[in-house]
Amino acid sequence: MRVRTTFQILWLVAGLALLLGAGRDTILGLIPKPRELPRFDGATGQPWIAGDFTGQFDYQSIAEAAIPTGIKRASSWQGTDAFQGKAESAWFRATRSVIHVGVAGYPQHAGCSVVAEFRSPDGKIARLTCPLSNAGEQWRVWEIDRPPDAVAVRVIAEDRASDYTGWVAVTHPFRAWPSILPIVFQHLQLYATLALALVLIWGPGLAWYPRAAAPEIRTLFLVGNGPLLLAVLGAAVWCLGGKIAPTTSGFGAAAIVWLMIGIGAKRRGFHFEVSPTMSSALAVSALVVVAVTAKSTYSVGPAGELYRGTISRNYTVGDRMDSRFPFFIVQAVARHSGPAAPETERYFQPWTFFSRGPLAGLAAVPIVMATGGRPPIERPEQPWQPFDPQGFAAYRVTMMSLASGVVVAFCGLLLLFVPPSWALTGAGLLALSPFGVHEIMFTWPKWVATAWLIAAFSLAHTRRPFAAGLTLGVGFLFHPLILLWTPWIGLWVVGRTNRTLPEIVPAGLRFGGGAALLVIPWMLAGVVAPHQPEAVLAGQGGFLRYWLTADRQIATWATWWHTRWLNFANTFVPLHVYLSADSFHHARAGSAYEPSGRLVKFAAVWWNTLPFGLGLGLWAVSLAAIVRAWHTLRAAVVLLIAGPALLITANWGWDPLGLMRECGHPLFVAVIAITCVVAATGNGWISRLLSHRAVPWLQLPETLLMLWLTTLANPLPWPVDFGRLDPLCLAINALALGAAAWVLFRSRARSVA
């Protein structure tokens, strides 16, 4: 499919996202509301259920997202799990092919049960036991296929357990339209919102592309125009929140930009000036975002998934809550509360609004508001849905789309050093690696910040020190990990001068001054702004503590060296994090909720370690390339790999389980970059191997294992209400990754031809 046709379709689908967001409630309101089944005996004014259960829920909170409002319910939990009893509903008319009953609690707990009885005209009874897994404090809908001859149905619930979780609750049987309808609508809205995010993030760069500028400037505009425009619009929505509702201004801002992009593209005849290489890189990055969006819509994750069953779920285990920090900014905008307001600080505690950069959260604001998002006042822990009304799913696809910019930025960087075919090869190696895909899926702005760091390096290499520093400062406002690479880019700036004092000093001052224009004011704001007493990690000071800590405690010399060794080994030695007793049995190795099995702990190697993050094959090739580069590109190896590796090892003392996802993103990029430069400048086995057309396909098995192993092998998946399209999500994920591999395969075939 041609670029022109692809963009036209994407732009139209993005417009559909605006319509679906504005009309969500109206469209879903067209589905007839569920209704309680009428009594079989026709009696009115009689209790719907008899027995020991209570219909009072003053002392019990059960999430109601799955059941319609107004449906009667009854529970055996009466202030304690020790209560026992039984309840039988009246007989109700069974005229529909599917009968719906809400179930909560623990119907599979020993001593608890929920049964539906169907009665035929001749009085025969058919009993069906509820197959739903334990839902806990959350309603699930049991959809029961009515036996062909049944004319009446009743529900019997029993609780003969007195131990912990020994309770069960049921609702009045009701009739409803097939639940697949709202699920399909949510999936449609999700992918339309993804199209909107891609158009608003990449459209400004494509539409206002400086054709006559230098390559590094063109890449910067392509990668940066959309995110910065969205961030500015998000800030405007925030400032206007006292006069115009954020949902209104956010929708208007997104719609205007969408329309302007379409008009500008039409005037160009939907012809864009980007090279075929950058077009392919854009296609690969977009396909990866489609793949991880499909994965994020799969209803179940690994055992012990953080925030499982809620809109904040992040598909991994551990206690890293960073994936939802930028959403707190969206919540603050929706409430029109200031950055240092107490209600805003409560979201971030023990950090603050100023502890990280604001740009990622601000960029998500227009898309969340334009697609009907209504961010909650409380923390985002409402029951999970494929496309939730709170706007977290819209935020998620925005963050994923922003993160994919690292693929395009990396391709642009490599074009300064290697031929186009090798630049796309490097971008593909990053895009299809297990770590590359995982960090696009994990909704934090570290890949976004890395993209700006890459752009800063490109400017430093082309002797634009002030622009490099300013670009680095913008990256800092996405995530502060940028600062760990500032010294090395500064040294690269010096190396690109004539190395005389009259040139070194001005170049260094221009670079430092450009960065300081944005970094220093933000740091000062974090110090000056008032903070709540609970914000013990306020501003950038929390990150400075990493140098002095060992496993979240103030370090002694012994513990400092021990944790640094473990971090180094767990990052660079294959399987050390799994085979080392200190690491395997570490308190934070595994789920924050429950003991994790070996499979879950093994899966951490894909986002904590360099060998598995790259993929074992690419890691082995990169080792050989770095050894060869030591003889020909020693300065690059020292400044971009060895020095940063030692610096981040010394810095990270929060826990000793590996560095890659903590601050190793630029290091990951540097390893692939040097590997590609070595391969492109030689004719040896490294070059022949990496240029082979099979390489993209060979990357997929490890990446698919990273994505799906612990999910599909989860022995005890938790109950879900939106899993009907899980097979479709799995298929879309595999097809999108396969399509990305196909784009790379085809580009290599053309370069060989």
Q: Which string of DSSP letters, residue by residue, matches 344-365? A: HHHHHTTS-GGGS-SHHHHHHH
Is the predicted pLDDT of residue 750 greater than 80, yes or no?
Answer: no
Tens of pLDDT, residues 655-681: 999 999 999 999 999 999 999 999 999
pLDDT of residue 140: 87
pLDDT of residue 44: 83
Whole-angstrom distance, CA of residue 222 vs CA of residue 243: 33
Q: Tell me the average pLDDT across 7-21.
A: 95
Is the predicted pLDDT of residue 40 greater than 50, yes or no?
Answer: yes
pLDDT of residue 64: 66
More confident residue, 58 or 363: 363
- For residue 445, say if its preceding peptide bond is cis, omega within 30 degrees of 0: no
pLDDT of residue 499: 81
Count of C-beta atoms within a 10 Å radius of residue 275: 17
Tens of pLDDT, residues 186-214: 999 999 999 999 999 999 999 887 878 89
Lowest-pLDDT choice from 110-119, 278-287, 560-569, 586-595: 586-595
Give the model's confidence band at 383: pLDDT under 50 very low, under 70 low, under 90 confident, else very high: confident
Tokens standing for residue 140: 């699930």
Three-state secondary structure readout of 474-501: HHHCCCHHHHHHHHHHHHHHHHCCCCCH
Chain centre distance of CA 192: 17
Give the model's confidence band at 393: pLDDT under 50 very low, under 70 low, under 90 confident, else very high: very high
Tokens standing for residue 218: 């063109």
Average pLDDT over the chain reads: 93
Tens of pLDDT, residues 500-551: 888 999 999 999 999 999 999 999 999 888 888 888 888 887 788 899 999 9
Query: Can you give the residue ranges of every domain in the chain?
Result: 49-171, 183-444, 462-539, 549-691
Is the predicted pLDDT of residue 165 greater than 50, yes or no?
Answer: yes
Give the model's confidence band at 722: pLDDT under 50 very low, under 70 low, under 90 confident, else very high: confident
Is the predicted pLDDT of residue 219 greater than 90, yes or no?
Answer: yes
Q: Does pTM surpass 0.85?
A: yes
Whole-angstrom distance, CA of residue 450 vs CA of residue 463: 20
Tokens standing for residue 79: 């202030």
Three-state secondary structure readout of 372-413: CCCCCCCCCCCECCCCCCCCHHHHHHHHHHHHCHHHHHHHHH
Is the predicted pLDDT of residue 479 greater than 80, yes or no?
Answer: yes
pLDDT of residue 724: 86
Show Cβ contacts of residue 539 under 8 Å, excluding neighbours closer than 6 positions.
Answer: 352, 354, 355, 523, 525, 526, 527, 529
Give the model's confidence band at 79: pLDDT under 50 very low, under 70 low, under 90 confident, else very high: confident
Q: Tell me the average pLDDT across 333-360.
A: 94
Would you say 72 and 172 are in contact if contact means Cβ atoms under 8 Å apart? yes
pLDDT of residue 752: 53
**Which of 396, 403, 236 lies closest to 315, judged by CA?**
396
pLDDT of residue 748: 80
Is the predicted pLDDT of residue 565 greater than 80, yes or no?
Answer: yes
Is the predicted pLDDT of residue 751 greater than 80, yes or no?
Answer: no
pLDDT of residue 622: 98
pLDDT of residue 58: 56
Q: Tell me the average pLDDT across 574-588.
A: 95
Tokens standing for residue 11: 């732009």
Tell me what percent of the residues of the chain surpass a pLDDT of 90.
78
Is the predicted pLDDT of residue 753 greater than 80, yes or no?
Answer: no
In CATH, the number for domain 49-171 is 2.60.120.940
Tens of pLDDT, residues 113-156: 999 999 999 999 999 999 988 888 888 889 999 999 999 999 99
Q: How much of the chain is helix, strand and coil, in % rounded to 5?
A: 55, 10, 35
